[in-house]
Chains A and B, each alone.
Chain A
Amino acid sequence: MKLNLTVLSLVLFAAVSYGLYQLSYEVQELEKDLSSLNENIAENKETIRILKAEWTYQNRPDVLQALAGKYLPLLLIAPYQVASVGDVPYPPIDPKQFSVPVPQQKPRQNARPTAPSMPTGPVQLATFTRAGSLQ
C-alpha cells in the first residue's frame, strides 16, 4: 500500500512535470513565433510605405502628362465635350420591334355564361341559389 502510494505519487509527479515543461516549451515556441511575426509585420509595413512612396513618385503629374502627351491623342476638354446625362437624347423607338401585341377581340366576348346545373346528389343545400339571381 505504502509502496503503491509512493510509486503513484512519483508517476503523477513525473507526468505533471512532463506536462508542465511541455506547456512551457510550447509557450516559448509561440512567443518566438509571435516575435518573428511582429518583426515581419513591421518589415512589411515599412516595405508598404516605401512602395507607396515609390508609386506616388512614379505617378507624378508631370510624368503622367509627358506620357499622355507621348502616347495618347488627347487634347484639352472643350466645353462641347461636356454634357450631363439629361442632355443625351433617347434613341427613337422602332414601333415594330417594341410593339405590344394588341388582342383584336375583347376577351370573353364569345364566351357564354353557362347556367350552373343543380348539384347532383341526394342532398340539396337550403342556401343554394341559381347563379345571377339575387339572394
Chain B
Amino acid sequence: MSDLAWITKSPRPRITLSSPLGQKLSGDRHMALRLEGSAKETLEQGRNRLVMAGVIFAFCFVILAGRLIGLAISGIGTEESAISDADMAPPVAVGESKRAEIRDRNGVLLATTLTTASLFAEPKNVIDPKEVATKLTTVLDDMSEATILSKLASARNFVWLKRNLTPHQQYQVNALGIPGLHFRSEEKRFYPMGALVSHVLGFTDVDNRGIAGVEKYFDAQLGGSDESPSQDLMLSIDVRIQHALRDELSRHMSIFRAIGAAGMVMDVQTGEILGMVSLPDFDPNRPADFSGDSKFNRITLGVYEMGSTFKTFTTAMALDSGTVDLQGGYDATEPIRKAGFKIRDDHPKKRWLSVPEIFMYSSNIGAAKMADDVGPKKHKAFLAKLGLLDKPSLEIPEVGAPILPPRWNSLETMTISFGHGLSVSPLQLGTGIAAIVNGGHYINPTVVRRGDGDVVPAREVISAQTSDIMRRLMRLVVEKGTGSKATAEGYLVGGKTGTAEKAVDGRYKRDALIASFVSAFPMDNPRYVVLAMLDEPKGNAQTHGFRSAGWTAAPIVGRLISRIGPILSINPVDEDSEAVQKAMFIPINSKEKKLASF
C-alpha cells in the first residue's frame, strides 16, 4: 500500500513514500521527498492561483448573498414598493388636496369640488371622424356634429372635445368604444343650489381660484396651501330662508315689473345674515353666461338713497339725545323752503304732528325739523356710530362705500333726516335697524356662522329705553301707519317704509323709485331684521296704481315673515290679547280734531 498525502502540518509539501514491500528501509519510516527547483515553483504557483480564485469567488458569492438577503428583507429598489410608499401616507391625505366645501348654517352643501372627466381626442388616431361625430352627438347632446367634426379635423395631436362630463356621460362615451378618444380627470367647482346663494358664494375661475364672493374672500382657507390644509367653511346663510326670500322677491319683482330686487334677513343678536338675495342673479356654475348686471350685488355693493326708512334713525336720535320726547311734536302744516329746496309731505296732514304721528305717517317736514333741532354735528356723529358713514366690513369683497354729501350743514341734515342726500347700501340700513331694535347695540354683520358660545362684540349706540320706544313706534307703523301691508299675523311685525326717487345724473327721476321696507319681528323681543327692496317698481290694478313702498315692498315682508317665522321657531302670539297690546302700547298724543259733532 502506498499513498501520497499532504502532510498538513508541514510548511512545505512533502511526499511520504512507503515501501511497496512494507519493509523498513531504514530506522525512519517516513522519508520526506523534497521537491526542489522548477517543479516546486509550479506547484506553489498553482496553489496560489487556486486560493486567489477561491477568494474572489467567495467574495462575489458573499456580496450576492448579502444583496439577496437585503432585497428579501427590505424590498427597496423594486417598482412596487415605490408605489406603496406613496400609499403609506396617512389615509386623510386621500382626496384632501381639493378645494374645501362651503356649507350653510345647517350643513347643507353649497359648494363642493368634484373630479370630473374631460374628453379629448387624438385626431391622428381617430379612424373615421364622420362616424365618431355621429356617435358622439347621441351622448353629448349639446354639441353639434359639425363642431365635433371641425375639432377632429384639426392637425394637432390633442384637442379638447368637451370639458367636465357627468359620470353618466363618461360611461356612455366609454360604452361607445371609439379609439382615439381619451379622458383626463379635472377638478370642477360645483354649486348644487344653482343661483340660490350666488351673490354670497361668488364663483371661481377655470383654475378653481375664487374671484368673487366668499370664494374670493376665503380663497386661501378654501384652497389650502402646503403649510395649512384646506378648511371647510360654514356660512351663516340658511338655505330655507334664502329660498323663501328669493321666492317672494322674484314673485313680487315680476308682479310690480321691477328691474331689480334685493332682500336680507339678519339675526339682530349676532349680526349673522341668514338670507341675502339680490335679483337678477346668476348661476355660479356658469358665470360667463350671465350679464354684469346680474352679478351686481344690490345688497352690499349698491348704494341708494333709502328714503323714509332713515326716519327711524332720525327719530331714535332725537329721542335719545332728548331734544324732543314722545309728547312733543312739530308743526307740519306748511312745507319747508330752504336754499331753493322745498321739503313737503307725500301724505300731507296739514296740522301739528306728534313724534309718533310723524313716524307713523312718514312726515318729511316733521323729520326734517326733528333733525334740525339736534343739529348737523350730532346728526353726523350719530349716523357714524350706526356705521352708515363708513364702508361696512363683511366677508365678501363686493362691499360698497356710502356716498356722503360734500357738505353737511343744516340743509343736508334736513334731507338726510328723511333719507335723501346720503346713499348707503341696504346692508348698512339693515345693520343700523338691527342696532336700533336690539336694545341699542351695534353688531357687525357677518356671513360666516358664529359659534354657539361666541361673545359677539357690540358697541352701544342708543339707550335701551330709546330702543324700546323705537320698537313700539315701528310696530305702530305696521299696525296703523304706512306699513300695514307688512302684517304677518302672530309675528308682531314692526317696520318702516321707504320710497325714494332714484337719483340719475344728479337729478331725481320722478318715475324711477326705490321702494324699500325694513322691519323687525317679533317686536316685543326682536330676533330678526327683514329688509326688502324693489328697484323701479310699477303700480298695477291691485295697488290702484301706487308704487310706494307701503304697496309694493311691505307685502313682500309680510308674506316672507309668515313663511320663515315657523322655520325660525318664533312662537306666534295673539296680537289682540291684552298682554301684547299693553307691551306694544304707545301714546300717540294726536291733536287731530275729532269729527264728533255731526
Contacts and interface: CB of A to CB of B under 8 A. Distances in A.
Contact of B84 (A31, A46, A78): A31
A35 B87 contact: yes
A66 to B, nearest CB: 11
Contacts of A52: 109, 112
Given A50-B114, A56-B109, A41 B94 contact: yes
Nearest to B195: A62
A65 B80 contact: no
B194 A60 contact: yes
Contacts of A35: 83-84, 87
Contact of B112 (A31, A42, A53, A76): A53
B112 A77 contact: no
Contacts of B240: 61
A79 to B, nearest CB: 3
A82 B75 contact: no
Main secondary structure of the interface of A (DSSP, over half): helix
A54 B464 CA distance: 48
Contacts of B242: 61
> Which of A28, A45, A61, A62 has the most B CB atoms < 10 Å from its CB?
A61
A112 B490 CA distance: 71
Contacts of B54: none
Interface in B49-83: 69, 71-73, 75, 80-81, 83
Nearest to A42: B94
A10 B75 CA distance: 24
Nearest to B84: A31
A82 B112 contact: no
A53 B571 contact: no
Interface in A36-73: 38, 41-42, 45-46, 49-50, 52-54, 56-57, 60-62, 65
A8 interface: no
Contacts of A41: 91, 94
Interface string A4-47: 00000000000001001101100110011011001001100110
Interface residues of B, number: 42
B243 interface: yes
Contact of A79 (B95, B109, B194, B572): B572
A46 B356 CA distance: 61
Nearest to B563: A76
B192 interface: yes
Contacts of A114: none
Contacts, number: 88
B109 A78 contact: no
B239 interface: yes
Contacts of A78: 489-490
A2 B38 CA distance: 36
Given A28-B75, A31-B84, A53-B192, A61 B239 contact: yes
A84 B571 contact: yes
B249 to A, nearest CB: 13
B243 A45 contact: no
Contacts of B69: 20
B242 to A, nearest CB: 8
B80 A38 contact: no
B251 to A, nearest CB: 12
B571 A82 contact: yes
B86 to A, nearest CB: 8
B525 to A, nearest CB: 16
Nearest to B167: A50
A135 to B, nearest CB: 68
A25 B489 CA distance: 77
Nearest to B94: A42
Interface string B230-248: 0000000001101110010
Interface string B557-585: 00000110110000111100000000000
B136 interface: no
Given A20-B69, A35-B84, A53-B192, A65 B247 contact: yes
A63 to B, nearest CB: 10
Contacts of A20: 69, 72-73
Given A49-B114, A53-B112, A53-B114, A31 B81 contact: yes
B96 to A, nearest CB: 9
A34 B24 CA distance: 81
A62 B243 contact: yes
Given A53-B114, A60-B192, A24 B87 contact: no
A76 B248 CA distance: 13
A82 B240 CA distance: 19
B571 A28 contact: no
Interface string A83-105: 01000000000000000000000
B94 A32 contact: no
Contacts of B194: 60
Contacts of A82: 490, 566, 571-572
A78 B192 CA distance: 31
A45 B94 contact: yes
A61 B243 contact: yes
> Which of B193, B247, B489, B574 has the most A CB atoms < 10 Å from its CB?
B193
A82 B114 CA distance: 42
Nearest to A33: B84
Contacts of A31: 80-81, 84, 87
A77 B244 CA distance: 14
A133 to B, nearest CB: 70
Interface of B: 69, 71-73, 75, 80-81, 83-84, 87, 91, 94-95, 108-109, 112-115, 167, 190, 192-194, 196, 239-240, 242-244, 247, 489-491, 562-563, 565-566, 571-574
26 contacts: A20-B72, A21-B72, A23-B72, A24-B72, A27-B75, A28-B80, A31-B84, A32-B84, A34-B84, A41-B91, A42-B95, A49-B114, A50-B114, A52-B109, A53-B192, A56-B192, A57-B192, A60-B194, A61-B240, A61-B243, A61-B244, A77-B565, A78-B489, A79-B572, A79-B574, A84-B571
Closest 9 CB pairs of A and B: A79-B490, A79-B572, A61-B243, A56-B192, A57-B192, A31-B84, A56-B109, A42-B94, A77-B566
Interface of A: 17, 20-21, 23-24, 27-28, 31-32, 34-35, 38, 41-42, 45-46, 49-50, 52-54, 56-57, 60-62, 65, 76-79, 82, 84
Given A65-B247, A79-B574, 16 more contacts: A20-B73, A21-B72, A23-B72, A32-B80, A34-B84, A34-B87, A35-B87, A38-B94, A45-B94, A46-B115, A53-B112, A60-B192, A60-B196, A61-B244, A78-B489, A79-B489
